[in-house]
Structure 1
């Protein structure tokens, strides 16, 4: 008896609800299907299905065995797909998890371009402020921020570096003046971005000293895009990642303050499982990002460093 063949018969009989339907789906005769299931039960010395003339019902043992069979057959199918060319042809569902800001500002605009290049790939993008367990939650690639490569068993590819910029709306600056030094920020309404990837303090460092500013309580939010909207309304001075501020600089809704300072510098990493046969959709996605993300970040830096967008 071919144990994998017998497992597939068992799973298909359960899914279709009959030996006849399972036999038709698998290309067997009904007699072959029935015989294979009987041989499987004999080898296990356990009854998997209760049979009657009207219906089939899983036994308690059968329910547990069904779950294991699906897991095992899934692994077998993955192995066969890799051997059959999944590592050569990008196709299937690419499950990507990313921090919210990077997903909205960097990844979402690139997905159309990637799928134009690889039309057999469908992208599922999940946004979250936390870093998930990639293997347990079923993601293919995680895009995250870190000061250095996270210590894990995953493969990590650096995609570029970002930093945070200080910004305010022209309407706020007209009322309250333009701070010229970090020390002067203590006289302003500083908005608080709550993000586990960034410290609560705004720390300015140079070769001679270090100055830290604690943002206030007047407005606290955990998503940088919401922070940008609040700052655009004239609520106060904000510190947020450069990729979030760029659109507001271009529209004139925000201007950059203290432009010679960069805070909270971090690297963007793509993390994925180490496999001998790396799935083509993962490989091409990461290679695509290694080209496109630096290009986008270079454009952002040019905008942030343009005096036309400074206060």
Structure 2
């Protein structure tokens, strides 16, 4: 199909200037090419829009009606085009963000507050779920998720940082049940299970500077899928569980939780920002990714440093 929008633009300018020649000069083409564009438009409309004589151009009745409608259509199209182009330049509109629990409460929320204050024309809609949604079908701009690896997909993933989980319990639990001194001692304790994409179900893959082992949670008394709920259970003395460095740093510093077998940590995982496409990235997404790299990434590093510094203290 011929470029009807281009032909409409030429037709409107011909009417406004009253001349094929004037429009030809504007577009650096010949008057014959402008005339052919109008003729092409008439062929698509199956009606004449201009009366042509050697000295004068005038609108037909159908052409007059079409001219009025075409002006409105082209103005709306130009406005929509400008809006879309501005979306790639100026951050604005609603930013729909998915985030895994634990990560959201500990570090992402603060980063988003800073982002929204910096870009007040962007409103942030945050949904917290353990598993990553279908970004395209559910209309998300970005997903922030912790995982040892991401499945193959059409999405683009950026690495924002690394973290790992450590084994922790409350001082009251340790006082009542004793502190495990070896990994074999764990079998005699209440080991709470956290369902997470960052670790296999019913297994803790622990490692030290010298060895690595798998601890099987054969009879976990509690199975929890939200880190904050697991943290609450641990604070209440329910047993031993694993929490990510970014979720547990404050509690370890305050002494409300203590490291169990501090020579061990769980297998490290990565914090990813996942989004549908790298082509024509909107300004709100591009600036969010930049902001997360400048705020979330160092926050993840600082959490690791705080947790490890407590072991060395």
- Give the TM-score normalised by structure 2: 0.69
Q: What corresponds to 2:249 in structure 1?
A: 246
Shift of 1:232: 1.0
2:302 is the counterpart of 1:293: no
Identify the residue that residue 95 of structure 2 maps to in structure 1: 94
Distance 1:121 1:257 in 2: 43
Q: SS at 1:100's partner residue?
A: coil
Give the count of matched residue pairs: 239
- Distance change >3 Å, CA 184–CA 115, structure 1 → 2: same
Shift of the 263–160 alpha-carbon distance from structure 1 to 2, 3 Å rule, reads: same
Q: Provide the residue aligned with 2:203 in structure 1.
A: 201
**Could you tell me which residue of structure 2 aligns to residue 81 of structure 1?**
83
SS at match of 1:108: helix
Instruction: Answer yes or no: is 1:279 the counterpart of 2:282.
Output: yes
- Per-residue CA shift, 1:72-121, capped at 9, x if unaligned? xxx998755232x2111111111101112212212111111111111111
Name which one, 1 or 2, has greater alpha-carbon Rg. Answer: 2
Give the match for residue 235 of structure 2.
232
Q: Distance in 2 between matches of 1:240 and 1:257?
A: 11
Residues 253 and 80 (structure 1), Cα distance of their counterparts in 2 relative to 1, 3 Å cut? same
Q: Which residue of 2 aligns with 1:191?
A: 192
In structure 2, what is the equivalent of residue 159 of structure 1?
A: 160
Unmatched tracts of structure 2, length 5 or more: 6-44, 46-76
Cα distance change, pair 78–304 in 1 and its aligned pair in 2 (3 A): farther
Q: Is the 8 A contact 2:191 2:239 kept in 1?
A: yes
Secondary structure of 1:96's partner? Answer: strand
Match of 1:262 in 2: 265
Task: Note the 1:172-191 alignment, pairs <5 A.
Answer: 172-191=173-192
Q: Which runs of 5+ in 1 are unaligned?
A: 5-42, 44-74
Change in Cα spacing, 1:180 to 1:122, as seen in structure 2 (3 Å) is: same
The Cα shift of 1:302 comes to 2.1
- How far 1:3 sits from its partner (Å)? 9.2
Contact 1:191 / 1:217 at 8 angstroms: preserved in 2? Answer: yes
CA gap 1:77/1:148 in 2 versus in 1, 3 angstroms:
farther
TM-score (norm 1): 0.70
Instruction: Indicate the SS of the match to 2:291.
Output: helix
For the Cα contact (< 8 Å) 1:255–1:309, is it kept in 2?
no
Query: Which residue of 2 is the match for residue 145 of structure 1?
Result: 146
Match of 2:225 among 222, 226, 237: 222
The answer as to whether partners of 1:164 and 1:240 remain within 8 angstroms in 2 is yes
Measured against aligned partners, the alpha-carbon deviations of 1:27-71 in whole angstroms (never above 9, x if no partner) come to: xxxxxxxxxxxxxxxx9xxxxxxxxxxxxxxxxxxxxxxxxxxxx
Question: 1:277 deviation in Å?
Answer: 2.0
Change (3 A) 1:218 1:3: farther
1:181 to partner: Cα distance: 2.0
> Comparing 132-141 with 170-179, which one deviates more in the overlay?
170-179
Per-residue Cα deviation, 1:164-211 (whole angstroms, up to 9, x for no partner): 110011111112221122121112111111234421211234687542
Contact persistence 1:82–1:277 (CA under 8 A): no
Residue pair 1:95, 1:138 contacting (<8 A) in 2 also? yes
1:128 counterpart = 2:129 = yes
